[in-house]
Amino acid sequence: MTLTHRSAARSFVHRLSHIDPLTGENGSSNPYIRAASDRISVTDDTDIDTDAIPAEGSLADGMRIIAELVRTLPRKPGVYRMIAADGEVLYVGKARSLRSRVAAYTQPTRLATRLMRMVSATRTMEFAVTGSEAEALLLENNLIKRFHPRFNVLLRDDKSFPYIVIRRDTEWPQLAKHRGTREPDNEYFGPFASATAVNRTLYALQRAFPLRSCSDAVFSTRTRPCLQFQIKRCTAPCVGRIDRAEYGAIVDEVRGFLGGRNREVQQALSQRMELASTGLEFERAAVLRDRIRALAHIQSHQSISLHSIDEADIFAAHAEGGQVCVQVFFLRAGQNLGNRAYFPAHTRDLDEPAVLSAFIGQFYEARPAPRLILTSHDVAEADLLESALAMTAGHKVEIRHPRRGEQKDALDQAVSNAREALARRMAERGTQRQLLEGTARVLGLDGPPERIEIYDNSHIQGSAPIGAMVVAGPEGFVKNSYRKFNIKTEGAAGDDFAMMREVLSRRFGRALREDPERTEEHWPDLVLIDGGQGQLEAARGVLTELGLEDIAIAGIAKGPDRDAGRERFFVPGRPPFSLEPRDPVLYFLQRLRDEAHRFAIGTHRARRAADITRSALDEVPGIGAGRKRALLHHFGSARAVAMATLEDIKAVDGISDALARKIHAHFRGGG
């Protein structure tokens, strides 16, 4: 059967549009972007014999399909996608000339083994013409993030980085940690490589600059200084212990230190300390001394520091055993804000420069690049990458591979970090695989589990009940797959069996709705329950009810007197058993159980803390922070407000007669 353009118009759904290089979304009409609903792409002048195309075939089959498409491609920059018979996007690439680049896949002598396999699996292609090669590079990175093609280099860990923020959207600026969307009125400093790095810096800053760190809700209800004031880590603006001018001067010092003027700030503090000491104000001099020490503590944790560079990111790659580790260091205002190791997914035939080039493009797909990027290797198409990054960052970006001087020394140290991180990972992966094989042996599984889900509950006498799920696999704990469950079933709080049933019902019920054929990767090979026979039977009943009896399940319970090392294991169809106290598999399963317990306890405490700080006044409509504070200052507590008469409530400044009646009725069941 041959499809001409006229019959193709009836048989296929075309997407003829322009694709925005930044978003990948369809826009205005463009004749070179197309996709067929039956996985075959056609153009106005292309005849394709669909009966001759197998679902899966040889290299010759893939090359013939690509050759048919090449004939009508333009010699313009753009992006192409290679797609398998089942619709999987195999590869996303960009080209200066679409026709020339795609035609290269029809020349087998120039293809590596990886590309031969990719072409053999290709059954259709999609194309997008862009205005320039730089736009094509941006769109390529966007589509790689969207489709995760298995023949591309993939940046797998892409969570956002934390910042330190000086909040200026409040009457008294606050120093805090921040992730996510930035507010235009606030000032942000970072990014920091990890939560540990930002927490360490924030802790030292709060010792050096006593700004408030409490939430607006706590700040608005304070009637006397808190413990932070007593230990000299806050100036208690909530109760008027400092005026605005003095508080603003401390804010300026923080901004100066984080903005790179750290030496100026430290010298000013030193001068003030000497003046205080000369004037016999020894207590004030001691406070200033402690602030100087705190600032020095921040700078002492910098293993890599380039004071001659105001802003830069360092990318250092090391390859071994077919794997590549990329270490990323963040330098801002001459200070090292920490580093993070990445292990991008890629085929084994790619070297450091190729991986580094693809990695950098994806790394900055959703975040602006700094003005300078230092790399351990010469990056392929560096000029093109600079142009693309400049388009999204709004300023010039330079990619530099230094060969001498302090920048080269810093890169050598970063490469050493990458080498050590890769060695640790390879050792851990070997050990992890052995432990998974041991787990399969101990629990009678068909093979080493690729995904283990561990469940635990937490509550205090039924209050703030939480269910928690953590995930582990060959790479260790998969923290972006952790889930928490606020228990909703009436009467379930405090009943461990009922809580477990609710958690598993919600988790696997949703999974079945979203993936009834169970083709995705989020299905576990093993469900591990923190509990004994009762919890196991409750969980097993849920899986049976949902038709998921094939998922392996086991329970782990503390032994007599809850001694670690004497755990009992419960597996359906087998009597309970224990492992030898020094068995590595026992330690591994204990670690899984303890991680689930840690996550459940932490989540429960966070919810309980939120419940404790929530006032009964928060439930009254029309009560904001200002009126809430006025009521608490007048009556002393929410309980006193609830007991007050209507006339007493009307006497509070800022409370109208109508609002007073609403508050009075609310606490008497009439609201």
pLDDT band at 157 (very low <50, low <70, confident <90, very high): low
Burial of 337 from C-beta contacts in 10 A (0-12 / 13-18 / 19+): buried
Are 91 and 189 in the same domain? no
Q: Are 572 and 443 in contact (CB under 8 A)?
A: no
Residue with tokens 């927490």, as numbered in its chain: 199
d(CA 385, CA 582): 53
pLDDT in tens, 402-425: 988 888 888 888 898 888 888 877
Are 471 and 352 in the same domain? no
Are 252 and 199 in the same domain? yes
Are 107 and 171 in the same domain? no
d(CA 241, CA 579): 61
Looking at residue 466, its pLDDT comes to 87
**Lowest-confidence pick of 23-27, 457-461, 490-494, 658-662:** 23-27
Would you say residue 587 has pLDDT above 60?
Answer: yes
- Domain final residue pick, 611, 626, 649: 611
Are 340 and 411 in the same domain? yes
Q: Of 340, 351, 428, which Cα lies nearest the Cα of 156?
A: 340
Would you say residue 180 has pLDDT above 80?
Answer: no
Maximum separation of any 2 CA atoms in the chain, in Å: 99
**Lowest-confidence pick of 89-98, 270-279, 393-402, 403-412:** 270-279
Are 233 and 286 in the same domain? yes
Choose the most confident range, by mean pLDDT, from 97-111, 183-197, 637-651. Answer: 97-111
Are 458 and 606 in the same domain? yes
> What's the token pair of residue 267?
């010298």
Residue 656's domain is classified under what CATH number? 1.10.150.20
Task: Judge whether 544 lies within some domain.
Answer: yes
Terminal-residue alpha carbon distance, the chain? 73
Task: Judge whether 68 lies within some domain.
Answer: yes
Looking at residue 254, its pLDDT comes to 81
Would you say residue 48 has pLDDT above 80?
Answer: no
Are 316 and 282 in the same domain? no
Q: Of 398, 393, 397, 391, which Cα lies nearest the Cα of 135?
A: 391
Mean per-residue pLDDT, 544-564: 82
Sign of the torsion angle spanned by Cα atoms 31, 35, 41, 44: negative
**Number of domains within the chain:** 5
- A 10 A CB-CB count for 395 gives 10
pTM of the model: 0.56
Q: Which of helix, strand or coil describes residue 530?
A: strand
Task: Judge whether 378 lies within some domain.
Answer: yes
Would you say residue 632 has pLDDT above 70?
Answer: yes
More confident residue, 602 or 637: 602
- Domain final residue pick, 424, 440, 475: 424
> What's the token pair of residue 383?
């000029």
- Domain final residue pick, 374, 409, 424: 424
pLDDT in tens, 300-322: 555 555 666 778 899 999 988 77
Share the mean pLDDT of the chain.
79
d(CA 51, CA 597): 57
Are 227 and 331 in the same domain? no
Q: Which residues of 88-120 are buried (b: 16+ CB within 10 A; e: fewer)?
A: ebbbbbbbeebbebbbebbeeeebeeebbbbbb
**Lowest-confidence pick of 365-369, 385-389, 417-421:** 365-369
d(CA 665, CA 668): 5
Are 516 and 391 in the same domain? no
pLDDT band at 546 (very low <50, low <70, confident <90, very high): very high
Are 474 and 487 in the same domain? yes
Looking at residue 90, its pLDDT comes to 92
**Lowest-confidence pick of 319-328, 367-376, 457-466, 576-585:** 457-466
More confident residue, 156 or 345: 345
Would you say residue 451 has pLDDT above 80?
Answer: yes
More confident residue, 58 or 592: 592
d(CA 198, CA 156): 22
Would you say residue 13 has pLDDT above 70?
Answer: no
pLDDT band at 89 (very low <50, low <70, confident <90, very high): very high
Would you say residue 513 has pLDDT above 80?
Answer: yes
Looking at residue 56, its pLDDT comes to 46
- The gap from C-alpha 503 to its chain's centroid, in whole angstroms, comes to 24
Own/partner contacts of 582-587, CB < 8 Å, gap of 24 or more, are: 583/438, 584/434, 584/435, 584/438, 585/435, 585/438, 585/439, 585/441, 585/442
Would you say residue 214 has pLDDT above 90?
Answer: no
Are 172 and 321 in the same domain? no
Task: Judge whether 321 lies within some domain.
Answer: yes
> What's the token pair of residue 275?
């003046």
Residue 511's domain is classified under what CATH number? 3.30.420.340
Looking at residue 306, its pLDDT comes to 63
Could you tell me the residue range of the domain that residue 631 belongs to? Answer: 616-666
Task: Judge whether 432 lies within some domain.
Answer: no
Looking at residue 18, its pLDDT comes to 40
Task: Judge whether 531 lies within some domain.
Answer: yes
Looking at residue 281, its pLDDT comes to 74
Would you say residue 514 has pLDDT above 60?
Answer: yes
d(CA 280, CA 256): 28
**Lowest-confidence pick of 484-493, 554-563, 609-618:** 609-618
- The gap from C-alpha 625 to its chain's centroid, in whole angstroms, comes to 32
More confident residue, 431 or 77: 77
Task: Judge whether 234 lies within some domain.
Answer: yes
pLDDT band at 260 (very low <50, low <70, confident <90, very high): low
Q: Which helix (H) or strand (E) holds 184?
A: none
Residue 140's domain is classified under what CATH number? 3.40.1440.10
Looking at residue 398, its pLDDT comes to 92
More confident residue, 181 or 509: 509
pLDDT in tens, 429-447: 778 888 999 999 999 998 9
Looking at residue 58, its pLDDT comes to 78
Looking at residue 304, its pLDDT comes to 56
Mean per-residue pLDDT, 156-165: 74
More confident residue, 670 or 88: 88
Task: Judge whether 350 lies within some domain.
Answer: yes
